[in-house]
Structure 1
């Protein structure tokens, strides 16, 4: 096997990209864009493997010709992603764009193979200094390659111009644009190499090295969202950790008022943010229902609550009374008061403030439960 890239480097890139792609298939793949990225990764690995199978670094080797075809197939997915308005694009639209781009890439690959076959039939090597070879390969490969990557780059630029794009997405967009620029530069140098005589060596060898670098960079950038997914799968994200802290409080209150538990939406039930919102609403509803069962405050507690409404002492007393109210309703005792329920110890004007209050209540809840029981 002959290649302008050292074997250790080439196989290291292939192994690295394969691991990242396997993780992507494991973690994501439901959205349209994720499926396109995953299939693009498969074609990029195929291109790298074809380069490694080549016995010669020139275009006379059929493996290198097929490798160029795999590169074109990889860029067709860039084109389709660039044409998508959003991840919710209609499947028929995606399939139509993908089908068209695949046909063009297949035709371009056939042109490269036919040009090489024509040269071989004439008893010569493929030489880009000849007009016929240069037009056949340059038009077949360079034009769709450049067009596909330009369409994707315009998509990235549009994302960067959007003021609402998060910083992490901006970093990924800049990196993807930069990697495309590396490909363009390598392709331009390779095609101009026969005419200028600069950079001696096999024609289009720079494309192979630049493509391997492009695959490694883009695979790394597109793996950044996987970190958040892995953290979420491990239960270490903020929403999941907060749900675990609220779970004992939620479990005891909803056991006393089971009718307020909302049915789980199968589409979003596993989403940590949705789960946290649902738990918060259900805890708050249970507290309202248990208001009529709350034992009366003592005079000392009332005075302390007036002076320090947010103190741990006042919150601990409320937790004890709430636990007694939950036990009373669970055992079927009648309410201790008629009319409107007493106000809750805190009034939150936004979700974050309310969540902070519930977390504080959940923190002292195990002690209050142990004291009452």
Structure 2
């Protein structure tokens, strides 16, 4: 790798490090997420050690250390490839412990070889890791082709699977080429400029694909995605109704703007049902402005401690077909809410003036 300029390598490593750190904090919910994160972390540490030690002129030591961390990364990549290919997720954790154990054993062999002064053990173990690497590439290739052949796969997912397919095919081809070069006497850490650039370019593409869930998580945290935008529009209405009817408040969602949006719509719907007895003429209004005023009056009446004037009933006088229709209705109600609440306050204070 010494033939590759230092500056681009530093930029690439920094990019991978930023994505890795971000995913550890924001994208760590499923086993697939954790396997990707662990593979990225081991690969990043191995790459940093390899570059730093290699620049000190210790090429054999750099390769041995990279092999130790690389074996652990390959174990997690293989586990992810098995999941992507459709293996039973219920036994994935147990299988992963086996893969990790084999990788740790391979690392111990390299370490013993380092202590014993055997410089050939590291390259031998590195060559052996090519088997699960190529196998992982084949599994991911098969999974990507299967998804791309499915007519129901959305366009965005097709693009993602297409890019992942390229990475998987490159992994298989580069592994085979590397093994052939090693068998002909070329050191594994000297792949040549073309293959070195291809490896780094593929690493950038793979990291960019892995960064997509991180980008989505950041948008969700900032409420800049579609669900988050709806949450922001609903929040004033949701806050007023849940303050008036606190018993409808559910446990906070685990994470994600989509979960929060679902929770907010359920709580608003339940609060509207609870407030209906305080607005006896609510079903007489099919205009959203008048309906919002009725709900605002009901909130005022309940806050003032007044008794309900009729039995409870359904949440709205509007005919709603599905959840999407309900969300549009609640967004329309939220848009009218500030004006309706201001009118209710003004009517309440008018006699005092």
Fold match, TM over 0.5?
yes
Identify if the C-alpha distance between structure 1 residues 278 and 332 changes in structure 2 by more than 3 Å, giving closer, same or farther: same
Question: 1:238 aligned to 2:238?
Answer: no
- Which of 284, 289, 293 is matched with 2:274 structurally? 289
- The structural deviation recorded for 1:344 is 3.2
What residue is the counterpart of 2:351 in the other structure? none
Q: TM-score normalised to the size of structure 2?
A: 0.78
Of residues 358-367 and 168-177 in structure 1, the stretch that sits farther from structure 2 once superposed is 168-177
Identify if the C-alpha distance between structure 1 residues 113 and 158 changes in structure 2 by more than 3 Å, giving closer, same or farther: farther
Runs of 5+ consecutive residues of structure 2 not aligned to the other structure: 346-353
d(CA) in 2 for partners of 1:221, 1:286: 42
Matched position secondary structure for 1:61: helix
Alignment of 1:104-115 (within 5 A): 104=106, 107=109, 109=110
- The structural deviation recorded for 1:145 is 3.5
8 Å Cα contact 2:74/2:133 also seen in 1: yes
Alignment of 1:258-337 (within 5 A): 258-259=246-247, 261-265=248-252, 268-294=253-279, 296=281, 309=286, 314-336=287-309
- The structural deviation recorded for 1:33 is 2.0
Q: Deviations over 1:10-52 (max 9, x none)?
A: 2222222112212222322243222221221122223333442
- Measured on the aligned residues, the alpha-carbon RMSD in Å equals 4.0
Q: Deviations over 1:164-186 (max 9, x none)?
A: 55444433332233123334333
What residue is the counterpart of 2:40 in the other structure? 41
Q: Deviations over 1:324-354 (max 9, x none)?
A: 2222233232344x46758833110111111
What residue is the counterpart of 1:29 in the other structure? 28
What residue is the counterpart of 1:350 in the other structure? 322
What residue is the counterpart of 1:123 in the other structure? none
- The structural deviation recorded for 1:321 is 2.4
What residue is the counterpart of 2:348 in the other structure? none
How many residue pairs end up in the alignment?
A: 339
- The structural deviation recorded for 1:87 is 6.6
- The structural deviation recorded for 1:363 is 1.0
8 Å Cα contact 1:294/1:322 also seen in 2: yes
d(CA) in 2 for partners of 1:36, 1:140: 21
What residue is the counterpart of 1:130 in the other structure? none
d(CA) in 2 for partners of 1:343, 1:119: 75
d(CA) in 2 for partners of 1:323, 1:119: 79
Runs of 5+ consecutive residues of structure 1 not aligned to the other structure: 121-125, 127-132
What residue is the counterpart of 2:340 in the other structure? 368
d(CA) in 1 for partners of 2:245, 2:69: 60
Identify if the C-alpha distance between structure 1 residues 291 and 66 changes in structure 2 by more than 3 Å, giving closer, same or farther: closer
8 Å Cα contact 1:41/1:74 also seen in 2: yes
Q: Which structure has the bigger radius of gyration?
A: 1
Identify if the C-alpha distance between structure 1 residues 367 and 55 changes in structure 2 by more than 3 Å, giving closer, same or farther: closer
Identify if the C-alpha distance between structure 1 residues 356 and 171 changes in structure 2 by more than 3 Å, giving closer, same or farther: same
Identify if the C-alpha distance between structure 1 residues 50 and 345 changes in structure 2 by more than 3 Å, giving closer, same or farther: same
Of residues 164-173 and 353-362 in structure 1, the stretch that sits farther from structure 2 once superposed is 164-173
Matched position secondary structure for 1:3: coil
